Chain A
Amino acid sequence: MERENRFWRVALLALPLFVFLALVIWPLLSSFYYSFTNWNGFNSDYDYVGFENFKRIWTDRLFFNAIVNTSIWMAAAILLPTILGLSLALLLDAKVRGSKIFKTIFYLPICLSAIVVGQIWVWIYQPDWGLLNTVIEQITGSRFNYAWLARPDSALYAVIVAWSWQQTGLSMVIYLAGLTSVPSDLLEVCDIEGATPWQKIRQVIIPLLTPSTVVVVALSVINSLKGFDILFIMTGGGPFNSSDTLAMHMYNESFRKYFMGYGSAISVVLFLIALTIIGLYFRQLKKVDDIYG
């Protein structure tokens, strides 16, 4: 048996692993390599420059700007969809009329591309006839034409709202799935003990949903680290780099200014940050696994 198993393991794993190694692992390692060169993306000859690119990071004002923006972006892009998604899931779990349609409505934005979402929200934020300013004008009765996406103070946050709108549905679905596995006898015990709905949610349901939370947070981390498209389309990192994230910065350096070596160095830093978060995530996962099997 083991002999056949060995054959099948090789046969079944060969192709996926080959593709994965060739197109993910190998480029990852090359990225480390390029980060020590001054390759410009066109010339086939380039020089080994040691830690030059990494030193440059230290003096790159825009890099630190990007780090700050990435932190804000990630914190908000993780918290908002998670909290909103959980709330929606809890409300929907109450089995109200039409919950199926509600679910579909909340999930729909996930099907839209960042490009389309970006466009929709650009129109909402449009200063002259955008929905947001129109509503504000209706309410206050006076003219209002704040350019949400063109002001450094609000650009990043405006994109975060659009992002949360899109991502909430995903968290909601995962929480809904998690809720189906909350044993109903536990909730009945709560009813018998006379717990208020809020106590029930706070003390029983949310702790039991921890596995779902781990997944939701992990997915948010992944997605927000990748969050490039929507920023690219809504602000392009502007105005005045106020919404420039690491991914954006790396793109600009590599493909706009053709500092591929420097861009690689930035991506290595991005990778290390991701790695740290993955590490923390897996530790958390292990803890959760210990409790929830």
Chain B
Amino acid sequence: MAQVTLKNIKKSFGPTEVIKGVDLDIQQGEFVVFVGPSGCGKSTMLRMISGLEDVSAGQIGIDGRDVTHVSPSKRDLAMVFQSYALFPHLTVAENIGFGLKLHKTPKAEINRRVEEVAKTLQLEALLDRTPRQLSGGQRQRVAIGRSIIRNPKVFLFDEPLSNLDAALRGKMRLEIARLHKELKDVTMIYVTHDQVEAMTLADRIVVFNQGRIEQVGTPMELYHTPANPFVAGFIGAPAMNFLPAEMLSEQQVRLGETVLDLPQSSALSGAVTLGIRPEHIEVSDGGEIMATLDLMEKLGSETLLHLTTPFSDSPLTARVDGAVELTEGQTLRLKFNPNAVHIFAASEVRPAMTA
């Protein structure tokens, strides 16, 4: 049975419709990540699940119960905010025990459970401090502690790590993964802009765009078989390249002067858009696609090549081994891995998506 069910959810702020009909089932114990461009409605969706925001239309179910009109505190879920939202006038222990105290739990019981939680999150030494005296990572751990103490069925995270620096973010990411493993049967819904967080944490990723779901799937499904160019461009970094091409037959596509053989047949014909990820482009003497090297970004273990091709206005990005020696301005021969080529209808590709 699904833990969280969203049925045709819509949301408008005044005249503007922000969520335009979302259906989604989330299973018990699942870790679901919402991704999508800024302003596409991820936070709004999360806030509607939490009950902080009302839905304009549709139904929300949690644990088989229709909670569409149930107040947030009675939905048995917890939320971790990007800004941590710790109460500055309370100590760490009081912050963690805040909800229990509101529910008039006996003091001894609160203390016991606060200590239990503090142990899980390695906060024992900090219990008497106030939030001001904590580092960003510690603050976020306290915020998580505050939400796990009540054993909620569903956890909501809205970009919980985006205020942290890169190293700490990596560490906290592991901690959240560990937490998810430890708290069995707890459902987590997690909003992020970070590709790595999405790919590593998620059981399933939900890609939002302009108030709609573009695709739902495991990270690998989205990476290998994106349903549309939007998802293809959104998942993976650097983003997939899109090039104008033409279908010659069901299994043959022409790119400039080059003809590629596809392993699978495509139902499309005529002018199409060919998608290829930077990591699936190879610089090789046997390659038939000619491109000029404009710029190189050396990242150490790998190098990003920014190339221009005669058959497309937009630049092409390739990712090659860091050991390869090239010079800017040079003309290169490229080889596309045919198994990794995606064919989309030309009309589907909008310029904004490739940015």
Contact = CB atoms under 8 A, between A and B. Distances in A.
A is bound by B: yes
Interface in B73-94: none
Nearest to A5: B54
Interface residues of B, number: 7
A101 interface: no
Contacts of B69: 3
Contacts of A3: 69, 71
Interface residues of A, number: 4
B297 interface: no
Nearest to B48: A1
Interface string A1-33: 111100000000000000000000000000000
Interface string B33-74: 000000000000000000111100000000000000101100
Contacts of B53: 1
A1 B72 CA distance: 7
A67 to B, nearest CB: 47
Contacts of B54: 1-2
A184 to B, nearest CB: 23
Contacts of A2: 54
Interface centre among A1, A2, A4 (most CB of B within 10 A): A1
A87 to B, nearest CB: 37
A3 to B, nearest CB: 7
Nearest to B69: A3
Contacts of A1: 51-54, 71-72
Nearest to A3: B69
Nearest to B70: A1
A104 B69 CA distance: 55
B104 to A, nearest CB: 20
B56 to A, nearest CB: 11
Contacts of A4: 71
A142 to B, nearest CB: 66
A130 to B, nearest CB: 53
B338 to A, nearest CB: 52
Contacts of B52: 1
A3 B72 CA distance: 12
Nearest to A4: B71
Contacts of B72: 1
A1 B52 CA distance: 6
A49 B72 CA distance: 60
A1 B71 CA distance: 6
Nearest to B52: A1
B191 to A, nearest CB: 19
A2 B54 CA distance: 7
Interface string A257-271: 000000000000000
B277 to A, nearest CB: 42
B53 to A, nearest CB: 7
A4 B72 CA distance: 10
Interface of B: 51-54, 69, 71-72
10 contacts: A1-B51, A1-B52, A1-B53, A1-B54, A1-B71, A1-B72, A2-B54, A3-B69, A3-B71, A4-B71
Which 7 residue pairs of A and B lie closest in terms of their CB atoms, listed nearest first? A2-B54, A1-B54, A1-B51, A4-B71, A1-B52, A1-B72, A1-B53
Given A1-B72, A3-B69, A4-B71, 5 more contacts: A1-B52, A1-B53, A1-B54, A1-B71, A2-B54
